[in-house]
Amino acid sequence: MNNYILPYTLAQLQRITHLFQKEIILSKQNKKTSLSYFSYPLPHTHTCSEPFQSMIVGGSVFEKAIIKKTGKQITILNLTKSHVPLFTNKEVFLRFIHSHIELSVLYIAINFTYPSQPVIINNIIDGRLSSGTKGHAFIGLIGKNVGEELSDYVRKKSGKHILFTLANDTICLLLAGMKNISTIIAGGVVGTGMNFGFFDGKHLINLESGNFSAFPQTETGKQVDKQSNNPGLQLFEKEVSGKYLFKHFNLISKQKNIPLSLSSTSNLHDLALDNNDLPSHIAQSLFERSASLAACQIAGIYHFLNQKQLEFIMEGTVFWTGWNFKSMVEKYLILLGIPQEAVQFTKIEHSNILGAAKLVTGI
């Protein structure tokens, strides 16, 4: 790696992996760690012969579609994509979702990519917002049941009774990848944000692993955290995810008097492709350092679940299209002692929408 980007040593990465696995174990025992261990039941199958709506509310991306289920076949209709505004407060969020609702449906399933704790109300999975992240503050909504808040808002504004069900993006990812309830699988998102979770054979587990903090922050990571709107939180995410990676570059370029400032991690990827000057090498090193950290969480989950082979359903532009990211994760998994081909990465088309839909249709 470039001298301006200090890599984690193998010994450090091994220790991070060990501490991550240890925190999963402690969190499962309801002991306080930087991780969560939010346990979701498999969704109840709702009788829904009519089409319903499915949404993705991401850190930057918004998608919506009409879903129709015929037998075991789930069909996506009218899929549209756009971007979310900055959710500074509850009203901004509720107004935005309301503006995209099909008022003729009875159910709306939301893939909600923010830290939330599962709440079961009348066999409906809802989510209590734990904190803001990815730059969104959600003032007034933290600690509230998001689905209930949306239902109340729609009823007051439109007089319609619509049931909202929602789960974290990692849970929806796992649901999209589940073919049956007998296979243990894992899933992760490395995109605008980052998170991992798994299905342990009984429950769907959301770790909120972007908040993991038992690791040495980088110097630029400390500055990125200090300048963020949630200092002290999501420390691992601030070292790995697309929301923050380019900010590390900007801090380094300023320190080294490099006359270049980036506005996105997509720009960082383009810069890494150049492969012919110092800024390019810095960009490549940032992607590699991010991949090495992501590999630690993947290895920790692999050891925790104690499977000879484990499939990870993956989502996120950094993981799938970031400069050499997937191949570097695979390289670091081998360095961390994971047998080659013991971990398989799978991408499912429209996984975010399909996973959310299964909150209504069941597995």
**Token code pair at residue 248:** 């590390």
Angle between helices 265-274 and 245-255 (to 10 degrees): 60
pLDDT of residue 133: 77
Alpha-carbon span 180 to 11, nearest angstrom:
38
At residue 203's C-alpha, the angle toward residues 21 and 212, to 5°, is 30
- 315 forms bridges with which residues in the sheet? 189
Strands (E), the chain: 38-40, 52-57, 61-70, 73-83, 107-112, 116-121, 124-129, 163-168, 185-190, 194-199, 204-206, 310-315, 343-346
The answer to whether the beta carbons of residues 149 and 94 sit under 8 Å apart is yes
Residue 112 CA to chain centroid, in angstroms? 9
Task: Name all domains of the chain by residue range, CATH numbers in brackets.
Answer: 10-37+180-346 (3.40.367.20), 42-178+351-361 (3.30.420.40)
Confidence check: pLDDT of 274 > 80: yes
Using one digit for the tens of pLDDT, what is the confidence trace for 309-361? 999 999 999 999 999 999 999 999 999 999 999 999 999 999 999 999 999 99
Residues listed for the chain = 363
Alpha-carbon span 297 to 198, nearest angstrom:
12
Confidence check: pLDDT of 187 > 60: yes
pLDDT above 70 coverage of the chain, percent: 98
Model confidence at 46, pLDDT cuts 50, 70, 90, reads low
Model confidence at 134, pLDDT cuts 50, 70, 90, reads low
Model confidence at 60, pLDDT cuts 50, 70, 90, reads confident
Alpha-carbon span 277 to 283, nearest angstrom:
10
* Average per-residue pLDDT for the chain: 94
**Token code pair at residue 291:** 């991949």
